[in-house]
Structure 1
Amino acid sequence: MTIDHGREADIALELADRAGALADFGDALGRAGVSIEGGGVWVHEGRGLAHFLVADVAGATAALAASGLGPVVASPVIGVHLAQDVPGQLGAFTRRLGDAGIRILVQYSDHDHRLIVVVPDADHAAATRIAEEWERERIARGS
């Protein structure tokens, strides 16, 4: 799927499982003036996997490549607000995706308190419709 460079996207890349790897990543983006809007890093079986939400995908990709990091995979995201004071919101929204047969590849929160998910490209349009319905309902409830 093509990324609209005027919109936020998830950038994913493997980081070395060593002290300072995340600092190298953050320094590269900082020098390029790229802001991170959410995400995280996990180490599993000796491999570091980073997923971060950025608005400047091209800038992030170029900065990381120039620093010897990458390759970067950019994916469009789905973002919804959950009513933080209502238990079960994560399950309620993701159940809608699951019931539609949509797998969630990545999930995290951003700095605007939105749930961010990455789904397979083939399911992005359907997931977007589900998210838009969720947001309409949330606004109608006043939450």
Structure 2
Amino acid sequence: MKDLEIILENKAGMLALMGETLGKHKVSLEGGGVFNNGAYSIAHFLVEDANKAAKELEKVGIRVVKINPVIIQKLRQDVPGQLGSFCRELANEGVNILTQYSDHSNQLIIVPDNYEKAQKVSEAWMERWWSKEDYSI
């Protein structure tokens, strides 16, 4: 999975055009969101085939700024404070979170500034939180 960073003109129908274009080309959106930023909106969407998605969006005049690698992190929903704790561990390793959203499976999606460091933190987190009996923070 990859994150598409997209600039949409902030006017009626642009998100519809994006969704219709991707649907027509059998590209499924697995999570993401759109955020108003004045005359334009910044969108981030999780897709399986990012190169195909970017190619088709560019054909209809939708600007794909970047294709980003993502960290897909399952947090324990039954333990309060998981988001803060995981993000603190990333920060302690010097990883800045550029974008954060959830996918359709309630997993945390992170676009980090340093994918390799973030991946190591994520792997350690998964080992610690999903393999132990004591889930207290």
Q: Pick the TM interval, shorter chain.
A: over 0.9
TM-score normalized with structure 2 length? 0.92
CA RMSD of aligned residues (A): 1.3
How many residues align? The count is: 134
Shift of residue 100, structure 1, vs aligned partner: 1.0
Aligned to 1:124: 115
Aligned to 1:3: none
SS, match of residue 33 in structure 2: strand
- Structure 1: how far apart are the matches of 2:40 and 2:81? 32
Shift of residue 63, structure 1, vs aligned partner: 1.0
Aligned to 1:20: 13
Aligned to 1:136: 127
Q: Runs of 5+ in structure 2 lacking a partner?
A: none
Structure 1 segments of 4 or more deviating over 3 A? none
SS, match of residue 35 in structure 2: strand
Shift of residue 141, structure 1, vs aligned partner: 2.7
Which residue, out of 20, 26, 40, partners 1:47?
40
Task: State the identity as a percent.
Answer: 41
- 1:10-89 to structure 2, matched below 5 A, reads 10-89=3-82
Aligned to 1:95: 88
Deviation readout 1:42-90 (Å, 9 max, x if unpaired): 0023320000000111210111011111134101001110111211110
